[in-house]
Structure 1
Amino acid sequence: MSFLSRMMLLKSKAHLSADVRRAGPSRNRSRAADNAAKRKADMARRRVGLLMFGFAAVYIVIGGRLMQYGYAHPENTSSIIPPDRLMAARPDILDRNGQVLATDIRTVSLFAEPHKIVDADEAVEKLATVLPDVDARDMYRKLSSKSHFQWLRRQLTPKQQSQILALGIPGIGFRPEIRRFYPGGSTAAHIVGFVNIDNRGMAGMEKYIDNQGLAELADLGMTSNARLEPVKLSIDLRVQNIVHDVVAAAQVNFKGKSAGAVVLDAETGEVLGMASYPDFDPNSPEQGAKDGWLNRMSNGTFEMGSTFKSFTLAMGLDTGRIKLTDSFDARYPIKIGGFTIKDFHGQSRFLTVPDIFKYSSNIGTAKIIDVVGIPEQKEYLTRLGLLTKMKTELPEVKMPSQPREWKKINSITISFGHGVATTPLQTAVAGAALVNGGRLIEPTFLPRTLEQADEVAEAVLKPTTSADMRYLFDYNGKFGSGRGARIPGFDVGGKTGTADKVVNGRYDSKLNFNAFLGAFPMGKPRYVVLSFIDEPLTGEQGGTISAYTALPIVRDIIRRTAPILGVEPDFGSLGKDMLVSY
């Protein structure tokens, strides 16, 4: 083999060896690339998996929270929260038939966190657009203070709340609260009473409810969000509305200083209706603060005038010292201690006991009390509850007044209604004892059955005395000063009372306190109605005494309430014949 051939062979082997050497690293690089690609794919898959897991976890958390919120109670800080989340407030007050007299409604109050207020001037200007009556200076003082909480306005309307929310003022919020609402307004104001801005009872049955322990529980934070049982009263809203209307009309028409009336169940002591006028609207009690807050029926004392002659004759009959058939000399006035006792409707003759009652004789009554005696007079008036503080649920009850020392002149004037001042309500309660068989039953504004009344009743007069007094009431209703209250079909009896008012220490005959104590039906009296009007300037037929002012109040009340109370009219045999003819 030539050198050239050998060289060519070696050269080709060298090329082959070089190609072989080059081919080895290339395959290695290909394998590495494949491995890297596989690693990248695996990593990508792991990243996608992690991402999917992350999204799934987030959605699971969100879904779980949504479910939690769905089952949880909502927490609203700028709106009225549901009633089951409200703090327990007050029980509803109902009449005897379930009609609502007082209830709670949900509302909100406006507050501010001054440290969060950006511009106090701007906040005041914006709030004034919704609350035009706001005291801008006072509100600015509150908003610019360094405190963390300030009340701005209590008990907003829903419209005011939404308008303030739309203003978007930072640092302004709303707190859910309770507001007491009285659907009847002033109809039963003095009975139901009212509450203050913090929903605490301030008068009437509202205060009575607090006094039973509700206020103490609230102070201790032991109130519950459970609905409280309503409190049912003895009053009938239908009767109450009539009494209120009649009393208010009389006070206006007769131009009196004040007026009042009560309808009392003589057998149970339940008050079915009672009104004192002027009064107030418990939804805005501050507007009646001057004259309207005083409940003159239970918290005002007055000399009840000749209505007291009923009690004087009752004690004379009960002691046995007089009889209905007895007569007393009423021909001449009585002079004693520089005073002269005379009759307004003088007959100038001997008068029987029924005639003394019929003509309302001061002289005859003075002769009767002289027979009874001062110790017995005091004892009977105390027994009838006319000299002690009356017991009932209403907190507003005034103590009667009496002379420190009872002299003969005091005894005489007290016998016909001057010298002792009592509340009209306790006079009605004592009057009920005269006609219901002689039982004194303390008045109640809560329902009471006949059985419960028997447990609290106290015998203060003989049944025979009560029968005699029913006769006298009926006699006066037929033939005496009570004739004007005699409504056809209803046997109404009673006693008028006209007392001169004391002015500068002396009695002024031109200013009277007039009252009428009535009962019906006289066959078996079930209801007692007492009315009064203070200082009337006019009356029916132009008169200003009781027969023309206080008596018409009782007449109108009985005329409208008797059918509601279930008292059937009795027109005698003529009425029965007319019914048969129909």
Structure 2
Amino acid sequence: MNAFFRKRARPRLVGQGGDRLPGGPVSPGDRRQLPGPEERARPVAVGHARLRFMCLVLATLFAVVSWRLVDIMILAPETARGTANAAMARQMAEEPVRKRSDIVDRNGLVLATDLPTVNLFADTRGIPRPEIERAIAALPALFPELDPEKLRRDLYSQRAFVYIRHHLTPFEQKRVNDLGIPGLEFETAEKRVYPGGRALSHVVGTTNLDNRGSSGLENYFDRWLTTSDEPLVLSIDLRVQHITHRVLSESVKHFRAQGGSALVLDVATGEVMAMVSLPDFEPERNGSPADKERFNRATLGVYEMGSVFKVVNTAMALESGIPLGSYFDASAPLRIGGHSISDYKGKNRPLSIPEIMMYSSNIGSARMASRVGTTYQREFLRNLGLLEPVRIELPERGTPLVPNPWREISTLTVAFGHGLSITPLHLASAVSAVINGGVFIPPTLLKVQDRQAVQGTRVISERNSVIMRALMRLVVEAGSGKSAAVNGYYVGGKTGTADKQVGRGYARNSVLASFVAGFPMTAPRYVVLFTLDDPQPVQGTWGYRTAGWNAAPSTGRLIAEIAPLLGVAPSYFSPSGFFDESLIQEVGLKTLEPEGGPAR
């Protein structure tokens, strides 16, 4: 370390004799010579030149970068962004679009799928002015839905990316190409198509311009459909759906109704085999969710269902312990708190429970509910899911309008379907539980793979479920549901005609007509609910608009067509073996004999 810090000696000039030469000329014999002044100055000059050159280069680069930043950020920001947008658009056009999974019915028939297509857009900066005018004239001729004024504003906007039209067919793309207008370009896309058409519009739903779910199952399962490679398998049977749609459409037209809904449910699994709401819409056309055609009456609309609700009320009374042979006074209107409850074509005498169902007595139903009490009534309805939003795989789900506070008058009016507003699907699910052995099973639009694994909640006993089947059969045999009878299928059901609510009151001449049915009542497999919104009297109904003249016969037509497709074979043997003999006598089904004789 000392040697390192020691002052280094200056080099010595040594002569021949070894003496130090402090100055003067150097002799030719010296081994080392000192450089001259010019030689000492040359390296310094070279270094200065190199430094000046590097500074010039750096200054030039800095000036170029600075000018480019000023150009991008200040002088031409719109142009720069437009260029970036155009580049992004070209990248989008080249990248494959993520497809949605198919939606299929329970038999594998396609209900929704993707097809490759293209979107038309414009880089307006690249379209010469004369070509813009030609495009404004030509494109609306190819696509009449285009607004010429909006197209003019877009094409003169000098933007790098302007959508003109989505989802062109190959023929449409060729016609645009044949125009030869620079700046018109295409990007790859996927279009959702619906082979099931309008019949399934409320169930399957729709997608928006970005191919994302906007309603129905497309919306509810949007994430699953965009991440799964497997099809979404529904409980819907496309054959049954189309028949249901046709029968409902014909009934709405024939009875000049404002609309309607129809449901077919499997009582053992809760599977929805068909669901139709009218009016409907074309699913491949985008529209506002507020459009009345897009309103799903079966799951979103809540209504006072009227006398069809007596199926639930009667089951509640039996389950509370009231004997089937009990009588309730229906000889005069029931008055409470300034209100009067009366019967339509009343019998003006005490009625048994079977007679209350058969004659659809409001007074008798209200008296049964009064005996049961408000607390029991609310708990029973809650167990059937009637006091909470309907449980189904759709975003369009209605919430019941429940009496609040629930007074004594509410208990009485709810008994015959007024004062509580629910969706048709609520009612169909509740009736399924009443006749399937007494087990409530939430409805589903997905196919049940293992029927044995279906779990439910018991709401009434098996015996009371059998009694309710017999009572509903009695309504079709001898009550207001005669027109719903189908030869060989032992249909049971209940009519309902409710005055429509208008504000806080009821319309004088507007009704909701409904019929709920199960078949075959000897061993129920399906429930059908048919509703018509404000049907009108027509030829053959003798001025009536009640459900027995419209919804009931429509339900019978529907059952006659779908039963064979659902594998329900007709039976022409007496069903008395399915009912206890004492029950048959007590209910009054003394003639449960073969319907219509032998098969023809």
Q: Given the two structures, how large is their TM-score scaled by the length of structure 1?
A: 0.80
Larger Rg: 1
Q: Deviations over 1:520-556 (max 9, x none)?
A: 0000101000111111122552320011121122111
Residues 308 and 102 (structure 1), Cα distance of their counterparts in 2 relative to 1, 3 Å cut: same
Instruction: Find the counterpart in structure 2 of residue 105 from structure 1.
Output: 115
Q: How many corresponding residue pairs?
A: 488
Using the alignment, how far apart are the partners of 2:596 and 2:378 within structure 1?
48
Using the alignment, how far apart are the partners of 2:261 and 2:516 within structure 1?
12
Using the alignment, how far apart are the partners of 1:128 and 1:530 within structure 2?
46
Which residue type is aligned with residue 270 of structure 1? E
Residues 201 and 344 (structure 1), Cα distance of their counterparts in 2 relative to 1, 3 Å cut: same
SS in 2 for 1:239: helix
RMSD: 2.3
Instruction: Find the counterpart in structure 1 of residue 172 from structure 2.
Output: 160
Using the alignment, how far apart are the partners of 1:262 and 1:410 within structure 2?
28
Instruction: Find the counterpart in structure 1 of residue 397 from structure 2.
Output: 397
Which residue type is aligned with residue 520 of structure 1? F
Equivalent residue runs for 1:107-506 within 5 Å: 107-119=117-129, 120-212=132-224, 214=226, 228-286=229-287, 290-320=291-321, 322-449=322-449, 451=451, 454-455=454-455, 457-506=456-505
Which residue type is aligned with residue 564 of structure 2? P
Unaligned runs of 5+ in 2: 1-88, 575-593
Contact 1:484 1:552 in 2 (8 A): yes
Q: Which has the higher helix share?
A: 1
Residues 575 and 496 (structure 1), Cα distance of their counterparts in 2 relative to 1, 3 Å cut: closer
Contact 1:270 1:444 in 2 (8 A): yes
The offset of 1:565, in angstroms, is 0.5
Residues 132 and 527 (structure 1), Cα distance of their counterparts in 2 relative to 1, 3 Å cut: closer
Contact 1:441 1:458 in 2 (8 A): yes
The offset of 1:516, in angstroms, is 0.9
Using the alignment, how far apart are the partners of 2:149 and 2:313 within structure 1?
64
Using the alignment, how far apart are the partners of 2:259 and 2:570 within structure 1?
32
Which residue type is aligned with residue 399 of structure 1? T
Using the alignment, how far apart are the partners of 1:510 and 1:123 within structure 2?
55
Residues 509 and 364 (structure 1), Cα distance of their counterparts in 2 relative to 1, 3 Å cut: farther
Instruction: Find the counterpart in structure 2 of residue 512 from structure 1.
Output: 511
Q: Deviations over 1:142-197 (max 9, x none)?
A: 22223211111111121121111112111111111111111121011110001111
Residues 186 and 474 (structure 1), Cα distance of their counterparts in 2 relative to 1, 3 Å cut: same
Q: Deviations over 1:52-95 (max 9, x none)?
A: xxxxxxxxxxxxxxxxxxxxxxxxx99x999xx73222111111
Which residue type is aligned with residue 559 of structure 2? I
Unaligned runs of 5+ in 1: 1-76, 215-222
Instruction: Find the counterpart in structure 1 of residue 3 from structure 2.
Output: none
Q: Deviations over 1:428-466 (max 9, x none)?
A: 0000000001111100000114546533x1111111221
Contact 1:497 1:515 in 2 (8 A): yes
Q: Given the two structures, how large is their TM-score scaled by the length of structure 2?
A: 0.78
Q: Deviations over 1:325-346 (max 9, x none)?
A: 1111111111111111111021
SS in 2 for 1:531: strand
The offset of 1:507, in angstroms, is 2.7
The offset of 1:273, in angstroms, is 0.4
The offset of 1:393, in angstroms, is 0.7
Contact 2:313 2:415 in 1 (8 A): yes
Contact 2:119 2:167 in 1 (8 A): yes
Contact 2:100 2:225 in 1 (8 A): no
Residues 171 and 452 (structure 1), Cα distance of their counterparts in 2 relative to 1, 3 Å cut: farther
